[in-house]
A = this chain, B = another copy of it.
């Protein structure tokens, strides 16, 4: 009988979770039957519920479908004043009208539930012929067939193997975070907010997202709660110009890139990818083992050159390219490109998009540094006078609308065809350790991506998701998060300016040249190797090696440009230019200045300068 009493207590312990989906709680009205619910909901919800074809579930995580439940009488969402330019006010209005988000354990959701009206916009093109056999062979999970029955009132599921929240040994999570706009560490220690997330906050009517949901299995697209935030954020920032775009959460952009490449590139088809001639080495290392041929497009200070890309595609001869098919995919980092620090201006992006359309190239837009678009570099005199950083207006003096308007438009914002898969990440702008990012793409492409994620990562950590949601959505909101991003761009501007002032002070300008980076974390230093005393007898790589070794001897580590060459190996021509990459993200200001001094000394020594 002791055991029976215990089981009874346990039954009450999980009642909150059950209640959440199927029974009324004291603090919420009784749910209406599904059919009447659709009638009384606004158009967003009706639309999403009718999308039954695309509804799906993680196989063992048989969840319900997320819903927006309005306690008020049905009020249609007002269209934004300017449908091409959704504002935070529009989104707040839409949320208020749509009502409470009800999304329990492993509830299915998609961006269509949270987007504004897309009337008048075209649908994305179809990309079946670009997809690989592997991607086309992906089928929805078998147990999906069961999920549709979960909405039957009173149904008891013994279907999905989800553990019971009662057996989760974490009762609550708390975190101390900044209050807007007091973002510094010092201010956070003094004034920060202590946010708490309990296990059964939803059943208690205290929250839309709690640990009983976040710590259980979830959809591979991520939770409905964070899906809503990133969908709205993407709408605010990127405004995709076609109708059927979707977001899906990722475990970070490296994993997302691997999935995208497996979706689009086939070893047996001799597929090839274009990218910048110097590119993110991890991206190259992701593609190479898959048998994907990689080709580099020439760059200038604004990154990838559209004319060079056009000429490569126009004149493509597989016989001269190791048997590779003409590339049908471009991988590009438009803002603060790694390693060159180059940022494509708006016209450059439009020109690249036009070339992609002309040759029917699909674009993977990797934008980890999009919000690290910095303020213009004011030059060495001012920077030095300000102790290594120019004076900039504090984050709370600029409006978020001005901030958004100041950002170079994304390729996604120009993407009338739906040929862009954009990768965003919280790594560089919140914390890398969250391992959370998201993609935005057409419904077709996002659906194929999700089918893969379901049998691979199964989506990001629920712990990370609930903390990000609590911080970004509930605590800061869209306005506060954009103010955090404004703060961050000032931090990076200050760091960059320290590095640039040190370069101005310590590097021999006859030998080392650079463009001030406009975004990101990286500074790309060009060495005039042709002026090196051994230029006649030594290769570029040998001179690079000599300088690098002198750097180490003097106590500074910088990355060698040759590590980032897109075309390498036996068939690649040897490099004709010599670069080093330095980051201004990590070291202290004092250490950055000292490191650049050492670098200058190493270069000077190698070149025999006095």
Contact = CB atoms under 8 A, between A and B. Distances in A.
Nearest to A283: B455
A45 B489 CA distance: 42
A463 B433 contact: yes
Interface string A30-65: 000000000000000000000000000011101000
A486 interface: no
A480 to B, nearest CB: 10
Contacts of A376: none
Contacts of A175: 170-174
Interface string A135-177: 1011101110110011010111111111110111111111111
A177 B434 CA distance: 21
A312 interface: no
Contact of A583 (B137, B161, B594): B161
A496 to B, nearest CB: 12
A390 B2 CA distance: 11
Interface string A433-470: 11110000000000000001011111111111111000
Contact of A389 (B4, B154, B156, B462): B4
B391 A3 contact: yes
A585 interface: yes
A267 to B, nearest CB: 8
Copies of the protein in its oligomer: 2
Contact of A461 (B162, B173, B461, B586): B461
B467 A170 contact: yes
Nearest to A15: B588
A582 interface: yes
Contact of A254 (B155, B251, B456): B456
Interface in A418-439: 427-428, 430-436
Interface in A4-42: 4-11, 13-15, 18
Given A135-B289, A434-B463, A176 B167 contact: no
A192 B163 contact: no
B552 A161 contact: no
A547 interface: no
A159 B585 CA distance: 10
B281 A563 contact: no
Contacts of A143: 281, 559, 563
Contacts of A464: 461, 463-464
Contacts of A160: 583, 586
- Which of A431, A433, A584 counts the most B-chain CB atoms under 10 A from its CB? A433
A216 interface: yes
Interface stretch (A82-90, A180-188, A302-310, A398-406): A180-188
A484 interface: yes
Given A3-B391, A168-B430, A433-B463, 11 more contacts: A134-B290, A141-B282, A145-B563, A158-B558, A163-B427, A171-B177, A173-B467, A185-B199, A433-B466, A460-B461, A461-B463
14 contacts: A4-B386, A7-B388, A59-B282, A134-B289, A137-B291, A158-B595, A163-B586, A170-B176, A173-B173, A173-B467, A286-B456, A431-B462, A433-B462, A461-B464
